[in-house]
Amino acid sequence: MSKTILEIEGLRKTYGSLEVLKGIDCAVHEGEVIAIIGSSGSGKTTLLRCINMLEDFEGGTIRLDGEEIGYHAEGSMRRRKSEKDIARQRALTGMAFQQFNLFPHMTAEANVMLGLLKVKRLPKDEARAIALKWLDRVGLGDRAGHFPGQLSGGQQQRVAIARAIAMNPRLMLFDEVTSALDPELVGEVLQVIKGLAADGMTMLLVTHEMRFAYEVASRVIFMNQGVIGEDGNPREMFVAPKTERLADFLKTSSFN
Amino acid sequence: MGYTLNFAVVWRNFDRLLEGLALSLGLAVISILIGAAIGLAVAFALISKYRAASWPATAYVTLIRNLPILVLVLFAYFALPQMGVRLDKVESFVAVLAIYSGAYLAEVFRAGLLSIPKGLTEAGLAIGLTPIQIRTTIIAPLMLRNVLPSMSSTIISLFKDTSLAAAIAVPELTFQARKINVESFRVIETWIVASALYVATCALIAALMRRIERRLALPR
Ligand SMILES: Nc1ncnc2c1ncn2[C@@H]1O[C@H](COP(=O)(O)OP(=O)(O)O)[C@@H](O)[C@H]1O
Ligand SMILES: [Mg+2]
């Protein structure tokens, strides 16, 4: 097995009195493309958000390349890291959101350049070259000067992916990146993700596109009520689910 | 009515009115610039999840917005020296108008901040920006665009409030008009011309703000 990138142990997260993640254990290896499936409310988004500290969490540890994310031990106490350290750690994982979240007052190019300039502190021309390279890669080389409001949803999502990937993250997180798109725009975004997977990018991919998960993922994690219900390779899981929960879930999912 | 209009005296003293107007504008610009800086910091404090920040900010805004500005002007000029703070009349007026505009602009900015989707902050965090970098490069520029229309009317109000400096003999437009009025007894003419200058200036400010708004509008 190749090198472990991400190690999650006993991850617990609550919102008030609602326990959303009830002890997640999981290791992600270099080059794995993991589809995370499961019904709405099962904790998929929360899991991704904990991995890059968009949410604080109460229990367990997450390690990226061996370094604990978000917290450190101080004696027997567990302390949140400084905002600056957390920012540095967040830059190691890229994230693409359902709602694209492009900065509307910046061109596509400026959106991609921002992190390169402010976080990586690259010189402007170097940052621009990287931005253009990735915009090209997602098929938007000719839209670099366009503002988000001038782009279709599919194009915006591709810029958002370029923005994340340009930071050269160790791990990419995708949270239902095609759910807000009109059906005819889904394909172009999935195509981009397929390309990244083929390049060997390690990724966790929350998706409702079961066919896509089946085709692209090297491994599937089924989330069920805050725990990992099943974890395995897509062929076995989709064809012969071990649990009734997964079988039921697959029955109600569409495979188009 | 035995009163015939005669603007001759007013025109002869027109340069004094213009000087007064220039001072009014100067007072407004400096105060609003300082006030905008205060307002921006206070607006972020108002929406902060930390009570140590939001509580004093709320107290400041509530206090200032419930005090007549004339009371503040008189207090700063007459009462502060008794407490050992010595400012000349222009300084004390600018300080008051800055603090006053800070409170009103904080409210305007706060509303602008609340309308910015949380997802943008999260996207900024996700690429590794610090919260401060997110405020300066993403939130503040977007908030400014959101609030330009309502800022226009706030700025016009604050410009008109400079007339209260006349109460402490700062030689701005209203003070100059009152002087000319007293010297010449051309009551109606003086105040018509002074009013016209205020109205024209406000119209100019509004036009300027609309221009800025158009210039900053996001292409779509
Ligand atoms: N900010 C929040 N405050 C309170 N509850 C939340 C919040 N975010 C998510 N939840 C709850 O946590 C559970 C898991 O949500 P989520 O991780 O978004 O699920 P999924 O992405 O699998 O649909 C849901 O019950 C949801 O209502
Ligand atoms: Mg979700």
**CA nearest to A108, candidates A139, A151, A77:** A151
Question: Could you tell which of A21, A46, A208 is best to mutate to test the pocket of ligand 1, judged by most ligand atoms within 8 Å of the CB?
Answer: A46
Domains along the sequence of chain B with CATH: 8-214 (1.10.3720.10)
- pLDDT at residue B3 in the model: 79
Token pair for B172: 């701005």
Structure tokens at B128: 């590794």
What single-letter amino acid sits at B44?
F
- The ligand 1 atom nearest the CA atom of A47: 17
Q: What is the model's pLDDT at position A73?
A: 87
pLDDT < 50: residue spans in chain B: none
Residue A109: closest CA among A188, A172, A163: A163
Q: Which ligand is nearest to the CA of A43?
A: 1
pLDDT of residue A78: 92
3 state SS for chain A:
CCCEEEEEEEEEEEECCEEEEEEEEEEEECCCEEEEECCCCCCHHHHHHHHCCCCCCCEEEEEECCEECCEEEECCEEEECCHHHHHHHHCCEEEECCCCCCCCCCCHHHHHHHHHHHCCCCCHHHHHHHHHHHHHHCCCHHHCCCCHHHCCHHHHHHHHHHHHHCCCCCEEEEECCCCCCCHHHHHHHHHHHHHHHHCCCCEEEECCCHHHHHHHCCEEEEEECCEEEEEECHHHHHHCCCCHHHHHHHHHCCCC
Mean pLDDT of chain A: 94
pLDDT class of A1 with cuts at 50, 70, 90: low
Q: Give the predicted TM-score (pTM) of the model.
A: 0.88
Ligand nearest to the CA of A175: 2
Give the distance, in angstroms, between the CA of residue A248 and the centroid of all CA atoms in the same chain. Answer: 26
Nearest CB to A105 within list B117, B124, B141: B141
Cα gap B57→A109, rounded to integer Å:
38
Question: CA nearest B143 in A: which residue?
Answer: A105
Q: How far is the CA of A176 from the centre of ligand 2 (A)?
A: 7
pLDDT at A256 over 90: no
> What are A194-215's pLDDT values in tens digits?
999 999 999 999 999 898 999 9
pLDDT in tens, A229-253: 999 999 999 988 999 999 999 988 8
Which one of A90, A104, A149 has the shortest CB-CB distance to B126? A90
Q: What is the pLDDT of residues A17-75, one digit of tens each?
A: 999 999 999 999 999 999 999 999 999 999 999 999 999 999 999 999 999 999 998 88
Q: Which of B122, B125, B127 to mutate to test the interface with A (most CBs of A within 10 A)?
A: B127
Q: By the 8 A CB rule, do B175 and B169 touch?
A: yes
Instruction: Please give the Cα distance from B128 to A6 (Å, whole number).
Output: 18
Residue A93 predicted with pLDDT over 60:
yes
Chain length of chain A: 256
Provide ipTM, 2 decimals: 0.94
Whether B1 contacts chain A with CB within 8 A: no
Cβ–Cβ < 8 Å for A229, A43? no
CB-based contact B54:B45 (threshold 8 Å) = yes
Mean pLDDT in residue range A125-146 = 96
**Residues of A (6-35) whose Cβ lies below 8 Å from B:** none
Q: Which of B119, B127, B218 shows the shortest C-beta gap to A105?
A: B218
The order of strands in the sheet holding A59-64 is: A18-29, A4-15, A59-64, A67-68
Given a contact cutoff of 8 angstroms between Cβ atoms, the answer to whether A84 and A93 are in contact is no
**Residue B137: closest C-alpha in chain A:** A114
> Domains in chain A, start-ordered, CATH in brackets?
4-252 (3.40.50.300)
